[in-house]
């Protein structure tokens, strides 16, 4: 089975600085993932809808606008509304440490602050997905 | 088409088994649609069973291929066509399958076609899916056809499949469509030469996009001529003269004209006998499935290359080694594929 | 025949050959290989042709004869957050501490042309800049700051013409006529499509609005810079120094072309075009870049566009130290980076300068951090004796070689852009954006592979843990306060006048009248920013970016 990790990279809200988002998208592609880049000015609903249509494993948000405490939870809520509770939600941008910790409240959201080597992001996604697929395989057997 | 704006995972609850997924698709559950397309992409064994469960519903959708060289404005045109289709008084459901190449080095892919289709994401009667070519050749075309079958059964009326028309696999995907639109634009100077071999052969409708740019008239004339001097080919489309349509999708112009040409093509095919045309095209799908299954079965072991190399090292010819591999193989897709029987409708 | 036994150069080269070199790349920040030494052969310059004197064509050595002896660069710290009242306080704090010009940062809703109470603004009001939705907000922003006594820069692009209208109307309400206003509005829409992405409408109507601004201000506000043609954002998006230089000047030339095509005499608007560059980590490359910029622009303006007024030939620029060079790890280190980048800008002859604060990778700057940033400029000006001599690095073989190289690389890009049909077609085809993205990815790879060292990130690291510094927090009540202000404004203003003025804007969109004038009238009628921009979006359409990835 030729299974690939599918990732949606999106920029929610009004901020248009997409260097980080595009760089991460490129790095994830280089790591063998299929990356759907949905671009700028996305609302939480658009992001969740795209995530559903694309059946992604991961949603990555880039937020430099200071609006992360509003946007992350809203994207999470929009995903849950659509029954997509399993999607890994991650992201980065200009987010102070204590806000990151607050947002990482549940086990499957993880945020990566400025200066994080992109390897860490790749590693976290691959390890988490590998564990998950192993569990699925085990339960199907 | 299932319940509009349904965001809950109702219509069946969990989506783990082929039966659940098939039920979800028939019930209009978008997550089921999405998940099943992933199964097709991943060549998951349960896909065939699910397909069998709703195959009776497949056949209503019109599949429109959209291809052309990079930069021709395909995504923009697809976006405009979708918007125009949504204006249709019949309140049609629209699906878009956007295919992009995978990196041959890393196996990953950047799928960025959605960026041109923002306003469609908000429309509950539009479904957009990005697909990477993955391992080239048959696999992608097979998955593409499978994805269309699922969207078809789900209730989507018009499916647009967009590819960058450069490889054999992309050609195969286009060949599986009911109507193929080839989009070109002025400025891709040698584009016409490059495109003549292959892609123009498969075109049912030609579009000169960015027709407000210099060179558009020249391109239009060149294409009209190319259509007329093309060697006659005996296909199901015999008698269809490929129309050349002008558009400027970036300004919202031309979509209606393109759809008119598509509708005319559809009429022509229906006159010729649509079922027959489609079955002819579907033989290619059977061939692809057989090839993939055979390849999978014969080369199943991880260290296959080493084993083969060992045999060759003993002095056997490649033919002898292949013969021995084939001899050991019994191939079947899965126990749960609906078997053909004299009374069963395929 | 070189006598290798005694020829000094040959001896030196032989010594290099045999010597150990430390690990590392010997390239500029942009990846261009550097020689270990530069000698006269490397620096082909004709003093009169290529360098000249400060204040004279081709201005390589500076745009003013006296340079900093006449007047130091303007210390202009970018500021803005929360409500107009809060930013007004920060403005007055900075002026009291010796800042010599104001620079306004707006929040994202404002930058994108949405009022603070728009549903798209939720969560974003006042977060990265000040929220300005109306003329009333603008008046509060400049409370106790007479507009004829300060020079104000407004960093806004898509809706810039509307914001400028608010500023002019604000001046009028203070009793200051437009002729007395000094400052800049960034208003550089081409780089938005290329790099920063804060656009409002598609390119052609946006460029029409810019020529309207140029035309109106040439007559009524002659001391106001109508565009700040920017390379900063292009650089921050990941471009190399040569790309920053090339794309900025190409954009500048496009604006000039359009001004001329709109029927204006180049000398009426060109003197008011100003520029804005990044000052990044590579000290010498940046200084060379600034010099190359002046020389290229002077030559193009005089020789390609036929401008006669020397003021049209002068490239005057503002500089900001590189935001992307700052790290979240060990933030105090950023003070050092910023200081060196600021020094490069000064040695490169900038007219005004913003220095970043050390905490800006984490949040907007605190008062303490921004004060250190300001002091950095003051220390450079007062203590390091670098402001006494104009263009002090001229004649350095290395710097002249680099200046020449950057000019040549820029010219190559100009040719390529021309070949591809000009700036706007390049934007539509994604050419410029792809060039920038490619450089960005290369840079990231260099950092991750370790070939580019970043202290605190991939070398001299100090492990996990959040930095121990105080961070600026935005008051959560800002959004609610803005909503209330807007509600009050909408209920108290003359609704008929609003409708009439918005209709006039809509008509002007179609009939070619000067839009800036209509915006000023609309401002006085208390039309909000969002309302005016909604009319523009409807009339001109929304812009959708091309596929880059």
* Cβ–Cβ under 8 Å, residues C238 and C447: no
Residue B235 confidence (pLDDT): 43
Say how far apart CA C234 and CA C248 lie, in whole Å: 8
**Hey, which chains touch A, using 3+ CB pairs under 8 Å?**
B, C
Q: For the purposes of burial, counting CB atoms within 10 Å of the CB of C233, is it exposed (0-12), middle (13-18) or buried (19 or more)?
A: buried
pLDDT in tens, C201-256: 999 999 999 999 999 999 999 999 999 999 999 999 999 999 999 999 999 999 99
- How far from C166 is each of B162, C193, C222, C493, C522, CA to CA, in Å? 46, 24, 17, 16, 9
Reported as a pLDDT band with limits 50, 70 and 90, residue B328 is: confident
Per-residue pLDDT at C374 exceeds 60: yes
Cβ atoms of residues B332 and B340 within 8 Å? no
C230, C271, C235, C232: which is closest to C252 by C-alpha?
A: C230
Phi, psi of B295 (to 5 degrees): -60, -45
Nearest in space to C163 (alpha carbons), one of C438, C515, C414, C428 = C515
Give me the sign of the Cα torsion angle C432, C438, C441, C442.
negative
CA distance C307 to chain B (A): 31
What kind and span of H or E run contains B195?
helix B191-196
B80-97 pLDDT per residue, tens: 999 999 999 899 999 999
Average pLDDT of B42-56? 92
| Mean pLDDT for the stretch of residues C249-277 | 95
- Residue B11, pLDDT above cutoff 70: no
Residue B251's pLDDT is 85
Q: Which of residues 68-107 of A touch C (CB under 8 A)?
A: 69-71, 74, 94, 96-98
Size of the A and B interface in Cβ pairs below 8 Å: 97
pTM for this prediction: 0.90
Of C109, C328, C364, the CB nearest to A14: C109
First to last CA, chain B: 23
Cβ <8 Å between B116 and C429:
no
CA distances from residue C466 to A99, C128, C429, C453 in whole angstroms, order as listed: 11, 22, 42, 21
Report the gap between the CA of C414 and the closest CA in chain B (Å): 20
CA separation for the pair C516, C227 (Å, rounded): 14
Token couple for B310: 């060992």
Q: Which two tokens stand for residue A64?
A: 């430099």
A1–B106 C-beta distance less than 8 A: no
Q: ω into residue C58 within 30 of 0, thus cis? A: yes
* Helices within chain B (DSSP H only): 18-26, 30-41, 46-54, 74-87, 118-121, 138-154, 168-175, 191-196, 199-202, 216-229, 255-272, 274-298, 304-313, 318-327
**What is the pLDDT, as a whole number, of residue B234?**
41
Q: Is C124 on the interface with A (CB under 8 A)?
A: yes
| Contact between C154 and C164 (Cβ < 8 Å) | yes
- Given pLDDT bands bounded at 50, 70 and 90, which one contains residue C3? low
SS (H, E, C) C304-352: HCCCCCHHHHCCCEEEEECHHHCCCCCCCHHHHHHHHHHHHHHHCCCCE
Which region among B340-344, C52-56, C159-163 has the lowest average model confidence (pLDDT)? B340-344
Mean pLDDT over B26-42 rounds to 95
Indicate yes or no: CB of A34 within 8 angstroms of CB of B7: no
Mean of all residue pLDDT scores within chain C: 94
- Nearest CA-CA partner of A55 in A89, A33, A26, A87: A87
- DSSP letter at C276 equals E
Average pLDDT over residues A13-30: 95
Give the other-Cβ count within 10 Å of B115's Cβ: 19
* A3 phi and psi angles, rounded to 5 deg: -90, 135
Tell me, what DSSP letter sits at residue C64?
A: S
CA distances from C386 to A55, C234, C340, C344 (A): 60, 29, 13, 11
Neighboring chain C residues of A8 at a CB cutoff of 8 Å: none
Chain B nearest-CA distance from A98, in A, is 33
Dist. CA C122–CA A65, nearest whole Å: 12
Chain C residues in contact with A13 by the CB 8 A cut-off are 108, 123-124
Chain C CB within 8 Å of residue A22 CB: yes
**What mean pLDDT is predicted for residues C150-176?**
96
Average pLDDT over residues C53-79: 95
What ipTM does the predicted assembly reach?
0.93
DSSP state of B102: P
Contact map slice: B 103-132 vs A, CB within 8 A: 103, 106-112, 114-115, 118, 121-122, 127-130, 132
Distances (CA, A) of C497 to C91, C136, C490, C504, C531: 33, 16, 12, 10, 13
Q: Is C150 on the interface with A (CB under 8 A)?
A: no
| C469 vs B120: which has the higher pLDDT | B120
Tokens of B311: 């045999």
């Amino acid at each position: 089975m030729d299974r690939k990790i599918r990732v949606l990279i999106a920029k929610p809200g009004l901020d248009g600085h997409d260097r980080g988002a595009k760089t991460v998208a490129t790095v994830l592609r280089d790591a063998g993932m299929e990356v759907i880049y949905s671009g700028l000015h996305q609302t939480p609903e658009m992001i969740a809808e795209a995530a559903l249509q694309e059946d992604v494993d991961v949603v990555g948000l880039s937020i430099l606008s200071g609006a992360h405490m509003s946007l992350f939870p809203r994207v999470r809520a929009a995903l849950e509304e659509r029954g997509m509770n399993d999607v890994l939600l991650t992201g980065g941008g200009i987010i102070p440490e204590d806000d990151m910790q607050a947002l990482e409240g549940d086990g499957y959201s993880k945020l990566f602050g400025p200066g994080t080597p992109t390897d860490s992001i790749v590693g976290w996604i691959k390890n988490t997905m590998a564990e998950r697929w192993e569990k699925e395989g085990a339960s199907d057997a | 088409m299932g319940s509009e704006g349904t965001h809950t995972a109702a219509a069946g609850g969990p989506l783990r088994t082929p039966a659940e997924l098939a039920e979800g698709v028939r019930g209009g559950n978008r997550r089921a649609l999405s998940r099943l397309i992933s199964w097709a992409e991943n060549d998951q064994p349960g896909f065939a069973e699910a397909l069998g469960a709703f195959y009776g519903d497949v056949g209503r959708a019109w599949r429109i291929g959209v291809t052309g060289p990079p930069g021709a404005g395909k995504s923009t045109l697809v976006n405009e066509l979708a918007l125009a289709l949504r204006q249709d008084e019949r309140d049609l459901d629209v699906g878009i399958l956007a295919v992009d190449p995978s990196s041959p080095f890393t196996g990953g892919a950047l799928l960025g076609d959605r960026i041109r289709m923002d306003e469609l994401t908000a429309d509950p009667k539009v479904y957009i899916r990005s697909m990477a070519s993955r391992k080239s050749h048959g696999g992608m075309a097979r998955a593409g056809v499978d994805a269309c079958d699922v969207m078809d059964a789900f209730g989507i009326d018009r499916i647009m499949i967009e590819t960058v028309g450069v490889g054999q696999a992309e050609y195969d995907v286009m060949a599986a469509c009911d109507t193929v639109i080839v989009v070109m634009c002025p400025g891709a100077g040698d584009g016409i030469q490059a495109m003549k071999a292959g892609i123009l052969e498969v075109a049912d409708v030609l579009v000169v996009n960015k027709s407000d740019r210099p060179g558009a008239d020249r391109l239009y004339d060149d294409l009209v001529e190319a259509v007329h001097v093309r060697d006659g080919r005996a296909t199901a489309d015999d008698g269809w003269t490929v129309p050349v349509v002008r558009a400027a999708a970036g300004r919202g112009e031309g979509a209606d004209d393109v759809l008119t040409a598509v509708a005319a093509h559809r009429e022509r095919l229906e006159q010729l006998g649509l079922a027959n045309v489609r079955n002819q095209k579907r033989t290619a799908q059977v061939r692809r499935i057989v090839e993939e299954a055979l390849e999978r079965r014969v080369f199943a072991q991880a260290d296959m290359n080493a084993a083969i190399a060992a045999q060759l090292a003993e002095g056997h010819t490649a033919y002898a080694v292949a013969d021995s591999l084939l001899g050991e193989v019994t191939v079947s897709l899965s126990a749960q594929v609906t078997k053909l029987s004299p009374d069963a409708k395929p | 025949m070189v006598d290798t036994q005694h020829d000094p150069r040959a001896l030196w080269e032989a010594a290099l050959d045999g010597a150990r070199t430390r690990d590392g790349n010997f390239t500029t920040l942009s990846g261009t290989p550097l020689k270990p030494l530069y000698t006269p052969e490397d620096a082909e310059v004709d003093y009169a042709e290529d360098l000249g004197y400060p204040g004279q064509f081709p201005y390589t050595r500076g745009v003013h004869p006296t340079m900093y002896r006449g007047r130091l660069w303007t210390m202009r710290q970018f500021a803005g957050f929360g409500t107009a009242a809060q930013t007004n306080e920060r403005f007055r704090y900075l002026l009291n501490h010796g800042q010599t010009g104001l620079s306004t940062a707006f929040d994202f809703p404002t930058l994108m042309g949405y009022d603070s109470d728009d549903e798209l603004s939720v969560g974003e009001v006042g977060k990265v800049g000040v929220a300005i939705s109306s003329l009333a907000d603008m008046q509060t922003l400049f409370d106790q700051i007479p507009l004829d006594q300060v020079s104000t820069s407004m960093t806004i692009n898509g809706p810039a013409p509307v914001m400028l209208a608010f500023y002019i109307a604000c001046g009028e309400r203070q009793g200051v006529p437009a002729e007395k206003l000094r400052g800049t509005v960034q208003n550089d829409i081409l780089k938005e499509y290329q790099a920063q992405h804060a656009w409002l409408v598609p390119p052609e109507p946006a460029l029409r609005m810019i020529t309207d601004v140029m035309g109106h201000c040439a007559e009524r506000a002659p001391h106001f810079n109508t565009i700040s043609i920017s390379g900063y954002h292009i650089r921050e998006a990941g471009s190399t120094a040569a790309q920053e230089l090339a794309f900025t000047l190409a954009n500048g030339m496009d604006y000039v072309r359009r001004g001329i095509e709109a029927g204006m005499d180049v000398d009426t608007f060109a003197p008011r075009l100003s520029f804005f560059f990044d000052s990044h980590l590579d000290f010498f490359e940046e200084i060379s870049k600034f010099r190359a910029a002046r020389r290229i622009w002077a030559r193009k303006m005089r020789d390609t566009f036929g401008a006669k007024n020397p003021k049209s030939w002068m490239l005057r620029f503002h500089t900001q130290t590189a935001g992307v060079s700052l790290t979240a790890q060990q933030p105090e280190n950023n003070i050092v980076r910023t200081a060196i980048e600021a020094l490069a800008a000064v040695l490169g002859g900038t007219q005004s300068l913003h220095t970043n604060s050390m905490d800006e990778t984490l949040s907007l700057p605190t008062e303490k951090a921004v004060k250190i940033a300001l002091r950095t400029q003051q220390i450079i000006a007062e203590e390091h004796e670098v402001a006494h001599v104009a263009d002090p690095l001229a004649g350095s073989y290395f710097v002249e070689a680099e200046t020449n190289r950057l000019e040549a690389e820029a010219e190559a890009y100009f040719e390529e852009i021309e070949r591809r049909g000009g700036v706007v077609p390049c934007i539509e085809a994604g050419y410029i954006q792809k060039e920038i993205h490619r450089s960005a990815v290369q840079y990231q790879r260099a950092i991750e592979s370790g070939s580019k060292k970043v202290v605190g990130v991939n070398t001299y690291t100090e492990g996990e843990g959040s930095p121990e510094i105080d961070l600026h927090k935005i008051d959560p009540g800002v959004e609610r306060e803005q909503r209330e202000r807007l509600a009050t404004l909408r209920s108290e203003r003359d609704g008929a006048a609003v409708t009439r003025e918005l209709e006039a804007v809509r008509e002007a969109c179609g009939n070619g009248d000067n839009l800036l004038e209509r915006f000023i009238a609309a401002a006085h009628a208390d039309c909000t920013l969002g309302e005016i921009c909604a009319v523009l979006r409807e009339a001109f359409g929304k812009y959708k970016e091309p596929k880059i990835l």
